[in-house]
Each structure stands twice: as C-alpha cells, then as structure tokens.
Amino acid sequence: MTKIQLVQPHPALLLQQNSDRGLVVCDLHLGWERLLTKKGVHVPSQTPKIKNALLKLIKQTKPTHMIILGDIKDAITNVSMQEWKEIPEFFEEINKQVPNTEAILGNHDGNLESLLPKTVKIVPPTGAIFGDVGLFHGHAWPAPKLLGCKSLVTGHVHPTVAIHDPMGLRITKQVFVKAPCNGEILAKAILSRLGTKTEADTSRAFKSNVSQLFIMPSFNQFLGGRAINERKRGRKKPDTYIGPILRSGCTNIDDAEVYLLDGTFLGTVDQLKALS
Ligand SMILES: [Mn+2]
C-alpha cells in the first residue's frame, strides 16, 4: 500500500511506495501576478519564490519522482512574455534535482508543452498512477484505469477554510481535504461518461477500489481559495462542487475531514460550517 503523508507545514504530499518517493504539488499558477499588473498594481514576479520553496522541499524530502498536479501556469490558453522566460527556467532547475519529473495538465495549462524541457513528462488531464494512488488535476474526468487505485489525489479547488471571529474579522487558511469516496458511484459516472452501459456485468468488470479522495491546497500561497465550509443559501449545490468528480455524487463533501497545512485536524466540513 502506498503511504500518503503531508509534508508539514507545506501544501505538498509525499507518496511512498517501496523505495519510490513521489513529491506532489499542485496549482502553482506561475505568472498569476500579471493579472495585477493589468489593473495597475505592480508586483515583482513571484516565480523565483515559488521555485525556491519547491527546491527546498525537494532537498528536504529527497523524492525519486516529482509530480506537478496541474495549473502550472496561470494564463489559460496563451503564453505571456513572462511565462516564456520563467517557466522553462523553473522546470530546468526542478528537473536537474529530480530527473523523473512529470507535469499533469490542468485547465490553465494550454500550450504548456512548448515551455517544458523534453525531459519532463507531460501527462494528459486523465491522470497518472503512482503505486495505488491516482493523480489528476480535477477539472476533467480521470481515465478508467484510475478506478483501480485506492486513493485519488486532485487539486483545482484551492481549498481553504473560512473562520469568522466575534470581532467580525474573516480569515481563511489553506487546508487539505480528505473525503470518503464511493468507488461504485464513481465507476458508474466514469463509465456512463464514456458511453458504456452500466449493467451489472460491466460494473463488475470495472470494479472500483477507490475509497478516498484527497483535495490538495494550491502550492502558490498568494492565491485566494475556495472556502469549503461556506454556507450558501438559496442554491442547490454550493460551488465547492467544482469539477466532474465532486459533482458526480461519489463523495459527500460534508463528511470530508479537513486538515491545516501543519497537520492539525479541524473536523469535518459539516462541523466547520458553524465557523464560516
Ligand atoms: Mn485548475
């Protein structure tokens, strides 16, 4: 069984399978500060900071595999001037430390291929497998082969918890979310999406082992997040249900466990609604 560990107090996971160690981070959104520049707010490039934070984590955790779980860059389809310069440098340095580096594509990663060194493996949004863990960004469906995994890991949501204090202040903290996942419902959703008849036989043939889903916080800590404990009134589904997996009904997000980056267990999403 693959061991899944938080790399406290960082928005990163370490997967261990025998002698293989996979360091996982997601939602870097390199070049995000360009949006501020457009509004007249000039912030120096944050990419060197993000790169140095990742290099430090690599030194600390000594991974054999580096897995970047989508939304590596910020501009969705085009490539900005800043990205042309910074992203190749970013990957060259990471790749020098961890020769086995892969980039799983997210919804912001249009034209990323042209920016990566040839030695970095590009994985489509349908995801990759490390031991018994399936990894995909979360904006699109995973490949059916990921149903054989015990755990799934995604990003995309940038989960945070919102806390209102009695003074009226509202703070948010980045969190890891660990949700129970009904593998059978997930398998049916994926198969029906593929146009397969979900008769009993087919479902058995595609028997799903998935029992838990991890949603990772964004590695870029300057970004805002989505408060998963926010109570939304008058809406059928809160917008925490982003991405097809969360909408498929295979997991009830209210039952999910919430952890701060330092590993502190806060409770379930349902319990934390009282704080929002
Ligand atoms: Mn995304």
Alpha-carbon distance of 139 to 244, in angstroms, equals 7
268 CA → ligand 1 middle, Å: 24
CA 169 to ligand 1 center in whole angstroms:
28
Residue that the structure tokens 């594509």 belong to: 105
Is the pLDDT reported for residue 206 higher than 70? no
Q: Quote the percentage of the chain above a pLDDT of 90.
A: 66
> Which sequence spans correspond to the domains of the chain?
3-275
10-19, 198-207, 249-258, 265-274: lowest mean pLDDT where? 198-207
How many A from CA of 139 to the centre of ligand 1? 6
CA of residue 106 to ligand 1 center, whole Å: 5
pLDDT for the residue numbered 232: 67
- Cβ-based neighbours of 219, under 8 Å, separated by 6 or more: 11, 12, 25, 26, 27, 28, 50, 53, 54
Give the Å distance between the CA of 1 and the centre of ligand 1: 28
Q: How confident is the model at residue 204 (pLDDT cuts 50, 70, 90)?
A: low
The pLDDT-based confidence of 51 (bands split at 50, 70, 90) is very high
pLDDT at position 237, please?
52
**How far is Cα 140 from Cα 127, in angstroms, rounded to an integer?**
9
**Is the CB of residue 115 less than 8 Å from the CB of residue 84?**
yes
65/226: higher pLDDT: 65
Q: What is the pLDDT of residue 197?
A: 54
For ligand 1, the distance from its centroid to the CA atom of residue 156, given in whole angstroms, is 4
Interval 57-110: pLDDT, tens: 999 999 999 999 999 988 776 667 777 888 999 999 999 999 999 999 999 988
Ligand 1 centre distance from Cα of residue 271 (Å): 26
Residues 202 and 240 sit within 8 Å (Cβ to Cβ):
no
Alpha-carbon distance of 17 to 6, in angstroms, equals 15
Measured torsion, CA atoms of residues 13, 18, 21, 27, in degrees rounded to the nearest 10: -40
- How remote is the CA of residue 19 from the centroid of ligand 1, in Å? 30
- pLDDT (tens digit per residue) in 121-151: 999 999 999 999 999 999 999 999 999 999 9
Cα distance between residue 33 and residue 41, in whole Å: 9
67 alpha carbon – ligand 1 mean position (Å): 15
Distance between Cα 107 and ligand 1 center (Å):
5
Over residues 11-45, the pLDDT tens digits come to 999 999 999 999 999 999 998 888 888 888 888 88
Ligand 1 center from residue 206 Cα (angstroms): 27
If you average pLDDT over residues 216-222, what whole number do you get? Answer: 94
73 CA from centroid of ligand 1 (Å)? 10
Using a pLDDT cut of 70, give the percent of the chain over it: 91
- pLDDT (0 to 100) of residue 191: 85
The dihedral over CA atoms of 240, 34, 120, 177, expressed in degrees to the nearest 10, equals -20
CA terminus-to-terminus distance, the chain: 36
Give the C-alpha separation, 227 to 64, whole Å: 33
**How much is the pLDDT for 64?**
98
More confident residue, 218 or 197: 218
Distance 123 CA to ligand 1 centre (A): 15
Residue for token digits 């806060």?
Answer: 266
Q: Which residue has the higher pLDDT, 190 or 21?
A: 21
Ligand 1: centre distance to CA 135 (Å): 13
Mean pLDDT score of the chain, rounded to an integer?
90
Residue 235: band (very low, low, confident or very high) from pLDDT cuts 50, 70, 90? low
**Contact by Cβ (8 Å): 50, 94:** no
